[in-house]
Structure 1
Amino acid sequence: METQEKPNQITAWLRESVSFKLVFIGMLTLVLLIPSSMISSLIAERATRREEVISNISYNFAGKQLIKGPVLVIPYKDHIEVPDGTGKTRIQPVERKLFLLPEQLSVKAGLSTDVIHKGMFSAVVYKTQVKLSGNFAKANLQNLGITADQLLPAKAFVTFSVSDLKGLKTNPSLTLGSQTFAAAPSAGNESAFSNGLQAPAPNAGDIANTSLPFSCKLDLNGTDGLSFLQLGKTTDVELSGNWGTPNFDGRFLPDTRQVKDKNFSARWHVLYYNSPFPQQWIDSASVMNNVAKQADATFGVNLRLPVDDYQETTRANKYAVLVIVLTFVSLFLTELITKRRIHSFNYVLIGAAMIIFYTLLLSFSEQIGFNWAYLVAALATVSLITTFIASLLKNRSAAFSFAGILSVFYGFIYIIIQLEDFALLAGSVALFVIVAVLMYFSRKINWDRADYSVEAV
């Protein structure tokens, strides 16, 4: 008889014990981390899918453009000593190259933007005419150990590059001094750039005595952004476009900028002191193809869509554990205050509803944007949980109070996501207040009692 009563007592204790319920809530919270992490992976997968679609649009239209150049290349005669096989050496003529960067480089470009939609994803594309102008200064041949007689101006050329040649809409030409030359794809390893273009420069023979002015126009298509390479001893860039959310990035920020609702303009004035490239050098055509040095000399603008819904959804999902913990603690206190026990399985269902909130947020944000999606997902989740709690407790006022608490939690997370710079400060203060409130309501609970009794607050 005593043997039968003992299991019944254990069962009753497990059902009524406050301590056991708290342990269960803690374990359930840890279990819910698994679907939360799966949702994080799903968000990353959808973001990757969007990037694939943008890459596909870029492939069909044109990719992000980086303007490189121009660089003046002048072959010259030299000689080396080579063994002749008899123990002696002989003089062998060789051809080397002299590379010169512009003394002054000016760039002007105006972007005409558009948004291309493919399914539920979008990409920003643009058309532009880039005007390059400037001059190559007199070469300091003495420092390089070269004489003017060694130069081969008939073989000289100017090389430049754009990242995606498919974006060129007209055949580019280059004006050097008073002469204009058509540009063609670079041959072999002659160019200073991979994927480069070059135009002949036969009038560069007097570069040791005088400067050589140049100008060029490029009619380009591109996607997402336009950047430039700092090559001039002085580099000036003027950029404008009909896009209201530009992101200026790269090694240098604009000296002046103006951003309005539907257009922007920016100016850069960059000196060569920060340049990773020498103004003139010999032999090595690979100097300009150094990826790290190019990254250290690149600047421009990105034309991203105003809101990155996947980034905001990811940030919201990072607070999932906080929302779950606070909700479970509030629900647990509601049990104690109303003296109505909620079965552990119902906690599981409520936890599932809070996890589904993030799948609703992700799916709706792809269709209607993050802000409206957050409102829809929050209203749906709060309504579902409130209705469920009301049916469990048979107490509408308690259910509506819990709905208010849950709404505060979701509103709190939304505000933190929007604040960005002050998110840590706002979150810390809010958490402090929440803990203080929980302390206030829990101070009268008799934790030693194996039931849900509570003294008057």
Structure 2
Amino acid sequence: MRGSLGFRFFIVGVLTVLMVIPLMLASEVINSRKNYSRDAVREVGREWGGEQVLSGPMLVLPVSEEVTRVISEPVIDEESGAQQLDANGNPVTRPLSRLERVTRDPIRLLPGRYDVTMRTETEMRYRGIFNVPVYRAAVGMDFDFPVEAAETALVGQEEIDWAGARLVVNLTSNAALRGVATLTGDGAEIAIEPIASGGYLGGIEAAITDVRAIDGYRLDLGLNGAQYLQIVPVGRNTAVTIESDWPHPSFTGGFLPDGSTITDAGFEATWTIPHLARTLPQVSREDFTEAMRSNMAFGVDFYEPNDFYQKAYRAAKYGILFIALTFLTVLLIDRNTTRPAHPVQYVLIGLAQTVFVLLMVAYAEQIGFTAAYALSSGATILLITLFGWVGLKLGSRTPVLGAMLLVVYAVLYFILKSADYALIAGSTLAFLALAATMWLTRNEDWYGPGEPGARLFRREAKPVPTAPPQAPGSPAP
């Protein structure tokens, strides 16, 4: 590649674009490892208890109505005991009114006051080389029911079977329940049983025979979980407090906390949600459980912030920028030499920087991100610098290449550690590199001597006509 500097720029640009291919392959490897990690997290989390969403309590009140039904009763001959027949031989019947009690859709009553406190303790579980954060939660619920409002949902002659009332609390899975599980009404313990629904949704229920005589309830649950913990604001006035020793909470769901305190020792967050903020009727004949859980649940995610797979994937995305900067540095360093770098040498440099991303992921799975980045970037910088000295014969200009690589990988580390400032750091570095290139090449002859392109884009100067020499003594024209 001994042509003009412009021709070399063109070739290096093409090589830079081609380096997208190995970077894409590296990104696929990273995604594959990330999916493998997610599968491990999901499997361990499911075995521990899984993602927990609590909905309820809800008071389910059976409703029945006494109706009069008219039925046809066959007329029996008293002497023969057989059914009488008319002249045409058809059975003779007579209408008969009968009172029957039929079951109607139950009334579902949500709490008036609903105060919840959740305290979680996290720990790490391991599956192979992967760390999975799981938690143990102690949930306390204080609530009451405005039972007088239930009768507003009655129609006609319907009546509530107060003795058949059931209190229902839904969970994602009953397998998550561990330790304490007690329900009290005005201080008296009430027996609870698992919901035998046979469906995907678990939970507990309790028979409340004297629901109108109980002013307040207390439910305490101990449960295991992983990834996230959420609750549905079923109360007319809902107040929720979540405390945990997890230092990296991500608040999510239908409502964000009113306030939170996050430290290295954990976090505390509080929510206060009035009934006007939730689109749920206090009293209903329909079951809104699925809609509540899907649209209104809120809580916290227990996640690893900015994990090294995310960092490695972003490094691959920014890789083309840093490969281009390295190529540009090599090109500018040896632009005036008689033995410039060969395209194969540029490809080798680009492949070394692509392998850096894979090295970083492989070692990060074993020793953590920071140590893996230091090891991988140091090895890559040393390799390319030595290659510049031995392979490219840069001589005394080799430290320039090494210094540029140090700056590039220092900026890349800053980008990966600070996701919020990644764009400004990357774009600023690209702008400064472009500005430096424009300054260093301001006096370059891009066509070079004898280049065909010069005749196409340069306008040749036209000769100025001169008058023929005059003989001595001749008159001027």
State the partner residue of 2:205: 198
Q: 2:289 aligned with 1:299, yes or no? A: no
The residue type paired with residue 203 of structure 1 is: D
User: Where do 5+ consecutive residues of structure 1 fail to align?
Assistant: 1-13, 453-457
How far off its partner does 1:80 sit?
A: 7.7
Counterpart CA distance in 2 for 1:403 and 1:440 is 21
How far off its partner does 1:344 sit?
A: 1.6
State the partner residue of 2:17: 30
Q: Which of 10, 32, 57 lines up with 1:70 in the alignment?
A: 57
Q: 2:279 aligned with 1:276, yes or no? A: yes
How far off its partner does 1:141 sit?
A: 4.2
State the partner residue of 1:382: 381
State the partner residue of 2:41: 54
1:251–1:295 CA contact under 8 A, matched in 2 = no
Counterpart CA distance in 1 for 2:341 and 2:70 is 95
Deviations 1:276-297 (A, max 9, x none): 3221101x33x1112xx42331
Q: Structure 1 stretch 109-118 or stretch 210-219: which is displaced more?
A: 210-219
Query: CA RMSD for the aligned pairs?
Result: 2.8
How far off its partner does 1:147 sit?
A: 7.8
Deviations 1:313-366 (A, max 9, x none): 111111011111121111111111444311121111111111111111111121
State the partner residue of 1:3: none
Deviations 1:223-269 (A, max 9, x none): 23321111111111122122222222222222232222122222221
Q: What's the TM-score, normalizing by structure 2?
A: 0.82
Equivalent runs, 1:21-420 vs 2, <5 Å: 21-78=8-65, 93-141=102-150, 143-146=152-155, 150-170=159-179, 172-188=181-197, 194-204=201-211, 206=212, 212-282=215-285, 284-285=286-287, 287-290=288-291, 293-420=292-419
Counterpart CA distance in 2 for 1:281 and 1:448 is 82
How far off its partner does 1:95 sit?
A: 2.8
How far off its partner does 1:157 sit?
A: 0.2
Identity %: 29
2:180–2:220 CA contact under 8 A, matched in 1 = no
The residue type paired with residue 271 of structure 2 is: W
Task: Tell me the secondary structure at the aligned position of residue 205 of structure 2.
Answer: strand
CA distance 1:323–1:289, change in 2 (3 Å): same
Counterpart CA distance in 2 for 1:341 and 1:83 is 105
Task: Tell me the secondary structure at the aligned position of residue 277 of structure 1.
Answer: coil
CA distance 1:80–1:318, change in 2 (3 Å): farther
The residue type paired with residue 323 of structure 2 is: I
How far off its partner does 1:123 sit?
A: 0.9
CA distance 1:330–1:81, change in 2 (3 Å): farther
How far off its partner does 1:68 sit?
A: 1.4
Task: Give runs of ≥4 in structure 1 deviating > 6 Å.
Answer: 79-86, 88-92
The answer to which structure has the higher helix fraction is 1
CA distance 1:212–1:21, change in 2 (3 Å): same
The residue type paired with residue 210 of structure 2 is: N
How far off its partner does 1:188 sit?
A: 4.3
Deviations 1:354-381 (A, max 9, x none): 1111111111121222222222211111
2:55–2:170 CA contact under 8 A, matched in 1 = yes
CA distance 1:337–1:142, change in 2 (3 Å): same
1:181–1:199 CA contact under 8 A, matched in 2 = yes
Counterpart CA distance in 1 for 2:256 and 2:388 is 54
Deviations 1:408-445 (A, max 9, x none): 12222222233322333333333222211110011122
Deviations 1:106-143 (A, max 9, x none): 11122122111222101111222211111011342454
CA distance 1:237–1:318, change in 2 (3 Å): same
- Which has the greater radius of gyration? 2
CA distance 1:23–1:74, change in 2 (3 Å): same
Deviations 1:126-175 (A, max 9, x none): 22221111101134245423489701122210000221211212473322
Counterpart CA distance in 2 for 1:147 and 1:115 is 58
CA distance 1:272–1:171, change in 2 (3 Å): same
Task: Tell me the secondary structure at the aligned position of residue 136 of structure 1.
Answer: coil
The residue type paired with residue 269 of structure 1 is: T
User: Where do 5+ consecutive residues of structure 2 fail to align?
Assistant: 73-92, 452-477
How far off its partner does 1:212 sit?
A: 3.9
CA distance 1:269–1:165, change in 2 (3 Å): same
2:15–2:343 CA contact under 8 A, matched in 1 = no
Counterpart CA distance in 2 for 1:174 and 1:44 is 46
Q: What's the TM-score, normalizing by structure 1?
A: 0.86
Task: Tell me the secondary structure at the aligned position of residue 242 of structure 2.
Answer: strand
Counterpart CA distance in 1 for 2:450 and 2:422 is 40
State the partner residue of 1:455: none
State the partner residue of 1:10: none
State the partner residue of 1:424: 423
